Amino acid sequence: MKVSEILAGSKKAFPSLEIVPPLRGLTKDELLESIEPFMEFSPRYINVTSHRDEFEYRQEADGSFTRHLIRNRISETTVCAAIMSRYDVEVVPHLICGGSTAEEIESKLDNLAFLGINNIVALRGDCISGEKRFSPTPGGYRYASELVEGIRSYQGSSTYRRSRGLEADDRFFCIGVGAYPEKHFEAPNIETDIANLKRKVDAGADYIITQMFFDNKVYYDFVEKCREAGITVPIIPGLKPLSTYKQLSVIPEAFSLDIPVELTREMTKAKDNKEALYRIGTEWCTMQCKDLIAHGVPAVHFYTMGKSRNITEILRECF
Ligand code: FAD
C-alpha cells in the first residue's frame, strides 16, 4: 500500500519509523533483531535511509595514489528486501541524487519495482567527505525536485514496465520529500526554502517529512507558512529523542537546528548521569509527540538511528 493511501485512510496519528542500513559485516538476522522491538506496534511502514558510496585515495608502493570505493553500508534496497522477507510491513527506501546518474537512478527504480516496492522518499543527499558543498554527479540530478520529476517520468517509460508490456503509470511510486522547519542550511531564508519545497510538490511529491525539531512551535509555524505558500500535501513531523550530553552540540551542528534553552539546561544539569540524560530526552520527546497528536498531525516520524529502547517507550506512551 502507498503511504499516501495509508495517510488518506487513517483516522488517527500513527508512528512511522526510519532506520539506517547496517554496516557491512552485519547479518540479515542482526538487522531483523534490531527492528523486532518495533513490531509490537504494528508499524504501517518502515523507512530505510540511503547512503552514498565514499572514496578514499591510497598511496601505492611507487608513490602514486589510487582511488578506492568504500561501501560502508548495505544498500537500502537490500535492507528493504530483507525486511519484506520477514515482516508484513510496507518499506519506504530513501533515494538520493548524490552519487548516481539519471540512468543509475532508473536502474534503482527498476529494482524497487521488481520487488513490488512503490514507495520512495526522494532526497538530494549531502556532500561527501572532502567536499564543502554538494556537487551533482555528471548526468545526475542537482536537486530533489529534479529527482521527483525523474521518478515521475520514469514511471511512464521504464524498462520494467515496457518489458512487461504494461501501460505507462506515472503514479506507480508514491513519493515523499524532506523539509526543514528551521530552514535547510544552504537556503538564504525560510521563504526561499519553502518556495523550493513547493517545487518538489509541484513536481509530484505526495507528502513531506520534516527534519527533526525540539520545539513544536517551530513545526506549527512552518506548516502555517507552507499552507500560505500553497503547499497542501500532508506534512509529517520528524522527531528524535536526545539521549547523551554530546548531542547538545553534535545535533545542532549536523542538522542546523536549535535545541530549546529549557532542554539544554536540564541536560546540562544531568551531564554526568547517563540514565538521567536518557530519561530527560525520552520525556521531552514524549511530551512533543503527545502535543503533536493532540494538534491532529497525520503521523509522527521517528529517526530511530539504531536505538529502539527510547523509541519503544515513547510509542507505548503515545500510541
Ligand atoms: P533539496 O530539496 O534539493 O534542497 C537542497 C537545497 O537546495 C535547499 O537549500 C533548497 O532550498 C535548495 N534548492 C532546492 N531546489 C532549488 C532550486 N531549484 N534552485 C535553487 N535552490 C534550490 N540524506 C541522505 O543522504 N540519506 C537519507 O536517507 C536522508 N534521509 C532524509 C530524510 C528526511 C526526512 C530529511 C528531512 C532529510 C534526509 N536526508 C538524507 C538529508 C538530506 O539529503 C539533506 O538535508 C540534503 O542536504 C538536502 O536534501 P533535500 O532533498 O532536502 O534537497
Residue 258 Cβ inside 6 Å of ligand 1? The answer reads no
Burial class (CB within 10 angstroms; exposed 0-12, middle 13-18, buried 19+) of 92: buried
Residue 319 pLDDT: 95
Residue 160 pLDDT: 60
Q: How far is the CA of 149 from the centre of ligand 1 (A)?
A: 15
Report how far apart the first and last C-alpha atoms of the chain are (Å, whole number). Answer: 21
The residue to which cell 539506517 is assigned: 20
Residue 89 Cβ inside 6 Å of ligand 1? The answer reads no
Residue 158 pLDDT: 60
Q: What is the pLDDT of residues 132-181, one digit of tens each?
A: 889 999 999 999 999 999 999 876 556 666 666 766 666 789 999 999 99
Residue 47 Cβ inside 6 Å of ligand 1? The answer reads no
- Cβ neighbours, 10 Å, residue 294: 10
Residue 143 Cβ inside 6 Å of ligand 1? The answer reads yes
The single residue of 18, 90, 106, 146 carrying the catalytic annotation is 18
Q: Is the dihedral of CA 14, 108, 240, 135 positive or negative?
A: negative
Residue 30 pLDDT: 94
Residue 307 pLDDT: 84
Residue 159 pLDDT: 64
* Catalytic (active site) residue 18: yes
Residue 184 Cβ inside 6 Å of ligand 1? The answer reads yes
Helix 274-294 with 261-269: angle, nearest 10 deg: 160
Cell of 284: 521531552
Over its C-alpha atoms, the chain yields an Rg (Å, rounded) of 20
> Ligand 1, atom 47: nearest CA belongs to which residue?
126
Q: What is the DSSP string of the chain?
A: --HHHHHHH-SS-EEEEEE-PPBTT--HHHHHHHHGGGGGG--SEEEE-----EEEEEE-TTS-EEEEEE--B--HHHHHHHHHHH---EEEEEEESTT--HHHHHHHHHHHHHTT--EEEEE---PPTT-SS--PPTTS-SSHHHHHHHHHHHHHH-HHHHHTTPPP-TTSSEEEEEE-TT--TTSSSHHHHHHHHHHHHHTT--EEEEEE-S-HHHHHHHHHHHHHTT--S-EEEEE----SSTHHHHHHHHHT----HHHHHHHHHTTT-HHHHHHHHHHHHHHHHHHHHHTT-SEEEEE-TT--HHHHHHHHHH-
Closest atom of ligand 1 to CA, residue 193: 11
Residues 6+ apart with CB under 8 A from 76: 21, 48, 49, 50, 51, 93, 94, 95
pLDDT below 50 — which residues of the chain? none
Residue 171 pLDDT: 79
Please give the Cα distance from 164 to 106 (Å, whole number).
Answer: 16
> Ligand 1, atom 15: nearest CA belongs to which residue?
196
Please give the Cα distance from 166 to 109 (Å, whole number).
Answer: 15
Please give the Cα distance from 146 to 122 (Å, whole number).
Answer: 10
**Single-letter amino acid, residue 133:** R
pTM of the model: 0.95
Q: How far is the CA of 251 from the centre of ligand 1 (A)?
A: 17
Strands 65-70 and 54-59, bridge-based pairing: antiparallel
> Ligand 1, atom 39: nearest CA belongs to which residue?
125
